[in-house]
Structure 1
């Protein structure tokens, strides 16, 4: 039977099906109020893993989650990401893995989230212009200081993951991955072998649009939606996968979370597994 929980870093227990907060509107007004209500509803429904980042609204997403959920329920993990900066002149984003910048972003995240320690901090992107040892060394120093609990990575290759593990204990990897997009299958395999949490972003890409007839057929047989089938497949695919589907609608949130109770038969799994070759 598919496990519904996972221990990140071997000790931080969470429910595997989480929530990605990137899509939540943060501007003042009715849209923000709806975002606050949705974040609270996610926790009411049992979500214990919420993903955000400095890049999502340049801190506004972190502030929104704190307004909605602080003081945080016991066992609730809000993971954030650093390492992306915005140009003051053009407003465009770029990598920024300079140690001083990483430390500054972490301090700001602690303030915005209203916490003294970020239990899981992920490097949003490896900065190709900064030595990896310097980037990870800065995060490791923050970990030693007690400001960071566990360190993860995002959008890395197997080689980059291996190099990073020479400097830190990698607790998680957040790469693009879904039923119809398995480019990072080797990274998933490496994470599974090492017991590293794998957080796929865009976890229902393609299937949710109805583009895959086979996914739609399986969904019809199960009385589910293509998105639910895609999430159920991910949960079944590997015990280290922690999907973080995002939405700005409560009905869609409830639909996504119901996927945790969807059971695929061996025939369904075989048919869905073969879609990677067709895609």
Structure 2
């Protein structure tokens, strides 16, 4: 017996009437190398966005610091006027510096500026879902401004009607609880994938509260793609040969790819998980979307559960 896992047709309801398909699309890979500057192929980037919507994607994840501005400009060019039901989530609390690095910028006034920039670039009067990116999961950086002050500033913008729903990215369970005491939290976006369960505690808290949990880097930051130079991966993040062998064993039983199995496992790990695999390739987009049809047996799910 097999169990169905994941589908763009599976809908998760967020706050304020928002609902998204559980298999979405992340726009981080649309800009040039290092998430900086224009894409290598402008027409191809537009084609990927349009094809994603044709596949039934109703959830696109972006940020104005992707590029900067590049991802949002591409989304507007490709999809505006936006189809009914398309939810565009964005992140604030970060800007890019002159060395192309990521810099915390979560002071209230700077958050207001970033919200306005997102509204302008995306061509919207109100943003669907805005995550406060604070880096609490340790991947990028700690936030500079007091957390409650930053989230409170976004809550005020929500009260003014500029934001429909609020989210958090890179947070701890303590920060999630602190934020919920200020305003409703519709979604959390933390690091969590087949080989990294560091977000498991936050995921459990989201599941208990009925909050959507979006995994960033659902494909292990691209490490599941064949031919990637794993020596460039951050220390401790590259999967081992044994992990790859087990994943390949499962994938072989279904005629699937590593990426498809990883996405199917992620969507099956909890009823509140969302996946936003990103790519600038039409072929990879089609591969990712096909994961919606993948069914994994309980035995294979158990095997994959043990890979972290």
* TM superposition score category, shorter chain reference: over 0.9
Give the SS at the match of 2:165.
strand
State the 1:85 CA deviation.
2.0
**Structure 1 pair 103–60 and aligned structure 2 pair: CA distance change class (3 A):** same
Q: How does 1:128-277 map to 2 (within 5 A)?
A: 128-205=143-220, 206-209=223-226, 211=241, 212-276=244-308
Whole-angstrom distance in 1 between the partners of 2:299 and 2:224: 18
Do 2:148 and 2:178's aligned partners in 1 also have CA atoms closer than 8 Å? no
Do 1:9 and 1:196's aligned partners in 2 also have CA atoms closer than 8 Å? no
Do 2:5 and 2:292's aligned partners in 1 also have CA atoms closer than 8 Å? no
What TM-score comes out, normalization by structure 1 length? 0.93
**Structure 1 pair 87–2 and aligned structure 2 pair: CA distance change class (3 A):** closer
Do 2:5 and 2:265's aligned partners in 1 also have CA atoms closer than 8 Å? no
State the 1:86 CA deviation.
2.9
Listed one character per residue, the Cα deviations across residues 196-234 of structure 1 (whole Å, up to 9, x for unaligned) are 111101112144458511111000001111110000001
**Structure 1 pair 106–161 and aligned structure 2 pair: CA distance change class (3 A):** same
Whole-angstrom distance in 1 between the partners of 2:259 and 2:39: 29
What TM-score comes out, normalization by structure 2 length? 0.85
1:82 corresponds to which of 86, 92, 109: 92
- Unaligned 5+ segments in structure 1 are none
RMSD, aligned α-carbons: 1.8
1:113 corresponds to which of 119, 122, 138: 122
State the 1:158 CA deviation.
1.2
State the 1:5 CA deviation.
1.3
- Unaligned 5+ segments in structure 2 are 136-141, 227-238
Listed one character per residue, the Cα deviations across residues 110-158 of structure 1 (whole Å, up to 9, x for unaligned) are 0100000001011122663322222111101110111100000111111
State the 1:28 CA deviation.
5.9
1:40 matched residue in structure 2: 50
Whole-angstrom distance in 1 between the partners of 2:120 and 2:16: 27
**Structure 1 pair 177–70 and aligned structure 2 pair: CA distance change class (3 A):** same
2:30 matched residue in structure 1: 24
Give the SS at the match of 1:183.
coil
Do 2:106 and 2:150's aligned partners in 1 also have CA atoms closer than 8 Å? yes
2:65 is the counterpart of 1:55: yes
